[in-house]
Amino acid sequence: MYVFETSLEPKTSLLGDARLQRLVFRLPNEVMATVRRDRRRLLKNVETEEVTSPPWDAQGGVCFSYSGKTGISTPVFVDRRDAPLGNRGLQRMRAGCPVRLTVRQVRHMKPRAGTRLQVLKVQVLHLDAPHQGGLASPHSIQTVNLQLPLDLMQDVERLARHEDWSNQAWLRNAIETQVRLTRTRLGLDESAA
């Protein structure tokens, strides 16, 4: 399994009424080395000389296609906070859109031996999925009932994204920071004295 950040290429096609959907992206260099090594490992016991070409081009470009009608091999699409994206969210995806992909490489034997890359999950890093309670994601920091100043909330959210904290970790850090600032302001913090 490979998890990496990349961006969608111009030939990506996610039209809701198309029979064949297409995700086009590039593998980062560090992922390419691992993917090549895994391909050699997956094909090392293949007895036939007829092996398909790798599912990527010389620059690491990959075109992953799946059925838009049957749902076969359809990846899971989520927003930046891991909430599911609906069709309206998919329509907002464009070329150059930053994404975090979860991909696996699997071996196939027919008609010729080879491997293929399957995209399991697409996390769109600049979208928030709407939910019934409003515009923000259900996992949004905006739903936290803490009396924190807006700038502190934004700092905590930025750090959570940058350092990939879990919800509990950034919430705990937000509370500890607020308590520390309040104790310092009230003169209750011994270390400030």
With b for 16 or more beta-carbon neighbours within 10 A and e for fewer, the 85-112 pattern comes to beeebbeebeeebebbbbbebeeeeeee
Q: Judge whether 4 and 27 are in contact, CB under 8 Å.
A: yes
At the fourth CATH level, the homologous superfamily of domain 2-124 is: Nucleic acid-binding proteins (2.40.50.140)
pLDDT tens for the 193 residues of the chain, in order: 899 999 999 888 877 666 788 889 999 999 999 999 999 888 888 776 778 888 899 889 999 988 877 767 888 888 888 888 877 777 778 888 899 999 999 888 777 888 889 999 999 888 776 654 444 444 444 444 555 566 666 676 666 666 555 555 656 667 777 777 877 887 776 554 4
